[in-house]
Amino acid sequence: MRDKKPWILALLIAASSASPAAAQEVARVISVGGSITEIVYELGAGDRLVAVDTTSSYPPQADDLPDVGYMRQLSAEPILALEPDLLLLVEDAGPPATIEQLRAAGVSIVTLPDQPTLDGIRQKVRQVAQALDLNEAGEQLVTQIESAQQDVAAKLADLPERPSVLFLLSVGTGAPLAAGTETSAAGIIEMAGGRNALADFTGFRPLSPEAAAATRAEVVLVTDRTLERLGGRDALLSRPELAASPAAEAGRLVSMDGLLLLGFGPRTPQAVAELAEALHPDLAEAR
């Protein structure tokens, strides 16, 4: 080793100490989770994606990629067929047996948090950036999101009142589900200057007419897809669960894109601003 030139020795040492991620760029990435996909694109790494899941509806470029299925009903075979270097997986994706099968096959998997808070967005961005070896870009994106959210929060700081908001989600042919605490719907409602109408349970539950009447909800909030499934504005507000509510009497129904509203990703400040203006019309008039 003494005969080797110093610069050659330095290269050998650097190569031997480099981590696998640093030694070879992660080039084939599959993203499972709409907000995860948005983050990858915002970090400038969209060209590394070889597939996404069905919840990845933004940005439009994601529609051109192969679809590996719904995030909670994944199958190992279509993922393995794409030979990914990395699978970015939102924490409630599954089923667990599929994830274990992928790990056993040697797929590198990074499971990402999905908390409906600003801090949860920070964690998600930083962990995606770390997995892609884009830490500097990750910090820049965190700063942009924080700045945008601070601007929105400043406008909401002195609201005179916070309306009661009932979020409904239709996932099949049965009664719509209502959002309780510890949900992304509750989180975005709070950030936008509203009060979640249902605070006596966590997660989602079917909404009975009695429970709906007890909420005295002033605003009904739904995703665009739920509104379509439930037959449109008039059909939704005339349902037995809602017909006698202050929201139905005043015609206060707000519909937004589901991923924008509930994704808790880079566009969340935009979602907060749009929902806040719908809940507080005076904000829109003051612009």
Side by side, the strands of the sheet bearing 29-32 are 49-52, 29-32, 86-90, 109-112
Q: What is the pLDDT of residue 21?
A: 40
pLDDT at 136 > cutoff 50? yes
Cα angle: 98, vertex 71, 257; to 5 degrees: 180
CATH class for domain 18-152? alpha beta
Q: What percent of the chain has pLDDT over 90?
A: 76
Higher local confidence (pLDDT), 55 or 240: 55
Rounded to 10 degrees, what is the CA torsion of 231, 237, 240, 241?
Answer: 110
Collapse the DSSP code of 222 into the 3-class scheme (helix H, G, I; strand E, B; otherwise coil) and give the result: strand
Phi then psi dihedrals of residue 271, to 5 deg: -65, -45
Arch. (CATH architecture) of 159-286: 3-Layer(aba) Sandwich (3.40)
Pairing outcome for strands 109-112 and 49-52: unpaired
- Mean pLDDT over 50-64 rounds to 97
Tell me which H or E stretch contains 143: helix 135-156
Pairing outcome for strands 253-256 and 86-90: unpaired
pTM above 0.85, yes or no: yes
DSSP tag of 62: G
Phi then psi dihedrals of residue 39, to 5 deg: -65, -45
- Mean pLDDT over 230-259 rounds to 93
DSSP tag of 261: H
Confirm if 24 and 80 have CB atoms less than 8 A apart.
no
**Cα 11 to chain centroid, rounded:** 42
Q: What percent of the chain has pLDDT over 70?
A: 90
pLDDT at 105 > cutoff 70? yes
Top-confidence range, 14-23, 30-39, 192-201: 30-39
**CA-based diameter of the chain, in Å?**
89
Q: What is the pLDDT of residue 284?
A: 62
| Domain boundaries, given as residue ranges, for the chain | 18-152, 159-286
Closest by CA to 55, choosing from 90, 6, 21, 96, is 90
Collapse the DSSP code of 283 into the 3-class scheme (helix H, G, I; strand E, B; otherwise coil) and give the result: helix
Weakest-pLDDT range from 14-23, 77-86, 188-197, 258-267? 14-23
Q: How many CB atoms lie within 10 A of CB 8?
A: 11
Higher local confidence (pLDDT), 7 or 193: 193
Collapse the DSSP code of 17 into the 3-class scheme (helix H, G, I; strand E, B; otherwise coil) and give the result: helix
Weakest-pLDDT range from 11-15, 113-117, 220-224? 11-15
Give the whole-angstrom CA distance, residue 51 versus residue 143.
Answer: 28
Q: Hey, do 18-152 and 159-286 end up sharing a CATH topology, with the first three levels equal?
A: yes
